[in-house]
Structure 1
Amino acid sequence: MSEETKTIMLCCAAGMSTSMLVKRMQEAASQKKVVAKIFACPAAEVSEKLEQENINCILLGPQVRYMLNDIKKKVGDKPIKVDVINMQAYGMMNGEKVLEQGLSLID
């Protein structure tokens, strides 16, 4: 993996439920020596964040999985992968598993 920063955006209904998961993913990235910027945002702010940030992948909380195609349309032809967070990993707040999911989309 290259040393360039990987930017992973988590997206959920209000951006609140993913904040603990972000913290756990950051801890996992630090342990694995992965240079990553991981943050959460509410689904309503996705378009804005796509303009402001250099995002590599977007992971949706399982509760907003119905927005997957809508988010993919917003991404358009940008080289950004979009997926739904594994429900079990999300429920367990398993930062390492969700980080691996995001990194596997990027690489």
Structure 2
Amino acid sequence: MKKILLVCAAGMSTSLLVNKMNDAAKEKGVEIDILALPISQCESVASEVDVVLLGPQVRYQKPQVDTIIDGRVPVEIIDMRDYGMMNGKAVLEKALSLIE
């Protein structure tokens, strides 16, 4: 099972995106585990994830996340439009494409 980490600020809007991504994964028949955590908790799961996506509101923290991940897996910023529209399908597709 693939594991996606979404890095967020407080996690309220990101948890909604997680739900939308889980719905999209079910439709697609993909088994996936999606976590949404603030950057302060990233290090605790850094070795367990296959890709890290940052919410647009924390894009400035990408260098810090890059340091934590140390090149082990892809780290990208979620498209602002997809995030704003809570387009779980598009964000899931992006994550899956980065994993492969």
What TM-score do the two structures reach when normalised by structure 1?
0.89
SS at match of 2:42: helix
5+ long unaligned stretches in structure 1: none
* 1:90 equivalent in alignment to 2:83: yes
Q: Which amino acid aligns with 2:31?
A: V
Structure with the bigger percentage of helix: 2
What TM-score do the two structures reach when normalised by structure 2?
0.95
**Aligned counterpart, 2:37:** 41
Looking at structure 1, the residues matched to 85 and 71 of structure 2 have their Cα atoms a distance apart, in angstroms, of 33
Identity of aligned residues (%): 45
The alpha-carbon deviation at position 77 of structure 1 amounts to 4.0
**Aligned counterpart, 1:66:** 60
Q: What number of residue pairs does the alignment pair up?
A: 100
SS at match of 2:23: helix
CA RMSD between the two structures: 1.0
Cα deviations by residue, 1:31-51 (Å, 9 ceiling, x for unpaired) = 001111012011111111225
Cα deviations by residue, 1:60-106 (Å, 9 ceiling, x for unpaired) = 0000000111101111142x110000100000000000000100110
Looking at structure 1, the residues matched to 40 and 77 of structure 2 have their Cα atoms a distance apart, in angstroms, of 16
5+ long unaligned stretches in structure 2: none
